[in-house]
Structure 1
């Protein structure tokens, strides 16, 4: 009996030890698996520099600060940080666009500066083509806008995240422009983009192409008499200090596009990409809203600074539109695909 009791005690002791070891092994294995899972789910941290040429209080930078930056940082769980470089701090449009292409800058918001190499990106800037903000948004957020950004990605290797609005372009000047004859001899700054240079010349002005960063000084020193931009730029860039009149010509619409370097984009995890895409959509929707709604308040502000607004009558508008028609004829000769695209844009939303 004594012998059997000793045997049972030994068996019980061995069983207890084995169970304890097994439990520890299972727990260690579980911890290891848990650590692996935790390590696998932790995204790498990145800082995203976003460059643009707008003043800090322009709708673009308001939307970046109030929507894009906080949403990216929140939705990515803090793995992505956003730094906004407004007002040409990382160079003018050409410089920061090149920076995004080569990867020294992660993201940027250019206009259609790339259209010399990617002609489809310039279609929506053809004169008197887009009717209003609703029309512009429908075109850019639809199949035509996607066709444009697909071409951009293929040719220049940058990934487009969202379309946003600069707005309808008008002429601000140091004297009244109220008829076609007033364009004669007007030294007019235009962006260094063929469509704008041709447009200014078609209207009868003496065109001086230059980047936005040089415009204020050129007007202050009377190197040029006027420039063209949406009035939000006139306000945010302080052009009212050196200009007296604005012609509400609405002769063209300029969009912006939020782009990201392709190599950087590929490095992001699926979760991070989703965070950026969702934030980009909310930023763009907000920026469109701000741009459209700010027109009347910007106009009131500029009038308060002494600027006089000239609203062209039907005859003047018709004369301006007629003056630029040869631009379309030469455009279709150079790019046979453009005629169908322009017609699709005209029919959108009708």
Structure 2
């Protein structure tokens, strides 16, 4: 990456504050995959601002959106090697810490409140501890992600209406198993291929959060969003253990406080963004349909538990039964 590109990609608090000079002692580079309009990027800038304030400018956080610092897995590897400091990451961490798969279990979380209980409770602490130990990555806080919904050109309110419905899913075995159990014919496919495949009838539908449904332009070829809300999940704002270990206890406490403030800020953005997405898509002719979520969940449950790593199945069962 050239010097100009680096300068264009990095967002610093100094820039936000009109170029105010600060006596920086530490610079942390935070790379993520989202674009500048995404709430994760806005939250990252908020975190940078809070860190600068709480450390009186001793720590500067540079934010690199659009994978300009590397793709998610590359960043995690870089954090382990000491070439990157921070990122926003979630279930990809299961490559090192199996319990991270619990972040995105189909139909495990009944509501945003239920997910918050798990993420901030004992199970969430277990997940974080394993991530720290195995991946050498330390979660500072978490952000909620928009629930995944099933889009189609017809209403599908119960699993018995799927009957072999050709559905694109990401290449996640857990998702494939869940949709097969619910009666669909799930087909793993790259996100970049989804629009054309919907257009030419290779697939009949797809499932994604509303933000990706809109950014993918799927409203042009899919006019019904069935509110299955089959996956609720969260994602971590995380720092490498190497970078964390170099900070004083006071500065570590400052980062934790900045992260807590950022979580509150991001949650407000998240809720407003979800409501705005519904309004925007309805304006584009998309209809939202309530479904029998309990029936979908009942059909998926056993398949999801059977697809989970046996080592974490007891925790998965605990979440389902909570």
Per the normalisation by structure 1, the TM-score is 0.74
> Are 1:274 and 2:253 an aligned pair?
yes
Report if the CA contact (8 A) 2:27-2:62 is conserved.
no
**Structure 2 residue aligned with 1:168, among 147, 157, 160?**
147
Bigger fraction of residues in helix:
1
Rg larger in 1 or in 2? 1
> Are 1:60 and 2:37 an aligned pair?
no
1:299 CA drift (Å): 0.8
**Structure 2 residue aligned with 1:46, among 10, 27, 32?**
27
* Distance in 2 between residues matched to 1:220 and 1:96, nearest whole Å: 34
**Residue aligning to 1:35:** none
> Is there any run of 5+ residues in structure 1 with no aligned partner, and where?
1-41
* Distance in 1 between residues matched to 2:70 and 2:186, nearest whole Å: 24
1:109-188 map, 5 Å = 109-173=88-152, 176-180=155-159, 183-188=162-167
Matched position secondary structure for 2:299: helix
Q: Deviations over 1:167-195 (max 9, x none)?
A: 32212345554443553454433233322
Please say which of residues 157-166 and 108-117 is displaced more in the overlay. Answer: 108-117
Matched position secondary structure for 2:31: strand
* Distance in 2 between residues matched to 1:94 and 1:49, nearest whole Å: 14
Report if the CA contact (8 A) 2:177-2:304 is conserved.
no
Q: Cα 1:173–1:105, aligned 2, differ >3 Å: closer, same or farther?
A: farther
1:210 CA drift (Å): 4.8
Report if the CA contact (8 A) 1:133-1:292 is conserved.
no
Q: Deviations over 1:103-147 (max 9, x none)?
A: 333211122122244221222422222121122112111221111
CA RMSD of aligned residues (A): 3.0
Provide runs of 4+ in structure 1 moved above 6 Å: none
**Residue aligning to 1:32:** none
**Structure 2 residue aligned with 1:302, among 269, 275, 281?**
281
> Is there any run of 5+ residues in structure 2 with no aligned partner, and where?
1-22
**Equivalenced residues, count:** 300
Q: Cα 1:220–1:81, aligned 2, differ >3 Å: closer, same or farther?
A: farther
* Distance in 2 between residues matched to 1:95 and 1:239, nearest whole Å: 29
1:226 CA drift (Å): 3.4
**Residue aligning to 1:37:** none
Matched position secondary structure for 2:89: coil
* Distance in 2 between residues matched to 1:99 and 1:131, nearest whole Å: 35
